[in-house]
Amino acid sequence: MRRQIVSKLRRAASALRTAMLLAWLILLIAAGALMLIVALIVATLAHAAFGWWGVAVVAAFVLAAIFGKDPPTEPTSPRRKRKGLHLNDDPNPWYMQSQYRFGSGNSAAHNRWHK
């Protein structure tokens, strides 16, 4: 009795594996056909708008998108502690700007800097 159940389960698993493989292949073929149809439509529109130069430009962009180098997903160098001022470092941030406004704050300090 147990052997019959195990045998049926194995056959069912094998059939399921075969069905999944066929579904995957059908999906890949459908995706390839869809990409081919889109490529033909884009090439036809490019040819109608710009002639063969338009087709060449579209083909170059498509090839660059497919075979171009992907940007790195991780930092290429280890993070180091930055010293000094950099491009995005504001020496006068918004929360300190009120002391530099004219007519506010200590006038002696203002006169010391602007003689």
Which one of 24-33, 37-46, 60-69, 74-83 scores highest in mean pLDDT? 24-33
Residue 98 included in any domain: no
Distances (CA, A) of 89 to 77, 86, 94: 21, 5, 12
Residue 104 included in any domain: no
Residue 34 included in any domain: yes
Residue 88 included in any domain: no
Counting the structural domains of the chain, the total is 1
Domain that holds residue 4: 1-67
pTM of the complete model: 0.46
Residue 53 included in any domain: yes
Q: What does the pLDDT look like over 26-58, one tens digit per residue?
A: 999 999 999 999 988 988 999 999 899 988 998
Residue 18 included in any domain: yes
Question: Which H helix or E strand runs over 88?
Answer: none
Residue 112 included in any domain: no
Model pLDDT, residue 62? 84
Residue 16 included in any domain: yes
